[in-house]
Structures are given as structure tokens and as C-alpha cells.
């Protein structure tokens, strides 16, 4: 069991070391906090992809080409 404590204008929960170690949570780790009718849930956040990760998923060419039409109106200048 742990205790909810006031930290500044928010409330905080200390995560026991055994649980933090089990899930790889450490000082500075990002977590998601979710709530539903059953309770409050804390889970490790997925790492945000780097630019290199995102670019590695791109295929060649311009996949958005089909969304463009010929220039119209002032675009033709």
C-alpha cells in the first residue's frame, strides 16, 4: 500500500521500489495515468519515436500526391 500526498498543486503517489524495478520505471520516466469507473491506473509510457524512427517507416515517393490537384486561381501565379 502507498499513500497519496500533496505535491505542489497536485497529488502524487510513491511507487514502491519493487514495482518500479519490475516495470523499469525510474526517476524521470514518463507514465500514462488513466482512470475509469474501476479506478486509477498508472503504466509506463511508450517511448516517443525519434525522427530517425519515423523516417525509417517512410516509403519512397510522395504518398500524398493524390491529394493535390492542378493549380487554381492565384496559385497559378
Distance CA 53, CA 59 (A): 13
For the cut 70, the answer to whether the pLDDT of residue 71 exceeds it is yes
Distance CA 64, CA 56 (A): 17
pTM of the model: 0.53
Give residue 41's pLDDT. 95
For 13-43, the pLDDT digits (tens) are: 999 999 999 999 999 999 999 999 999 999 9
| Of the listed ranges 2-6, 41-45, 54-58, 73-77, the one predicted with least confidence | 73-77
Between 58 and 11, the more confident residue is 11
For the cut 80, the answer to whether the pLDDT of residue 69 exceeds it is no
Domains in the chain: ranges and CATH: 4-60 (2.10.260.10)
Amino acid at each position: 500500500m502507498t499513500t497519496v500526498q500533496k505535491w505542489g498543486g497536485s497529488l502524487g503517489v510513491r511507487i514502491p521500489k519493487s514495482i518500479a524495478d519490475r516495470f523499469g520505471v525510474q526517476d524521470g520516466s514518463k507514465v500514462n495515468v488513466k482512470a475509469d469507473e474501476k479506478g486509477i491506473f498508472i503504466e509506463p509510457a511508450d517511448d516517443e519515436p525519434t525522427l530517425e524512427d519515423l523516417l525509417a517507416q517512410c516509403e519512397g515517393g510522395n504518398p500524398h500526391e493524390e491529394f493535390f490537384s492542378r493549380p487554381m486561381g492565384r496559385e497559378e501565379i
